[in-house]
Amino acid sequence: TDLFFGIWLPLYFEIKTLLLIWLLSPVTRGSSFLYRQVIHPTLTKKEEDIDDFVKKCKEESYSLGVKYTRAVAQKMTTTVIETALAGGGGLVKTLRHSYSLSDLRGGQPGREEASGEDKGNEPGDRVV
Helix residue ranges, H only, 11-123: 12-24, 30-34, 40-45, 47-87, 90-98, 101-105
Q: Report the pLDDT value the prediction gives residue 81, as an integer from 0 to 100.
A: 80
- The answer to whether residues 61 and 53 touch, using CB atoms and an 8 Å cutoff, is no
Q: Is the pTM above the cut of 0.75?
A: no
Q: Which residues of the chain have pLDDT under 50?
A: 110-117
End-to-end CA distance of the chain: 63
Q: Are the beta carbons of 88 and 79 closer than 8 angstroms? A: no
Which pLDDT does position 120 carry in this prediction? 55
Question: Which DSSP category does 113 fall into?
Answer: B
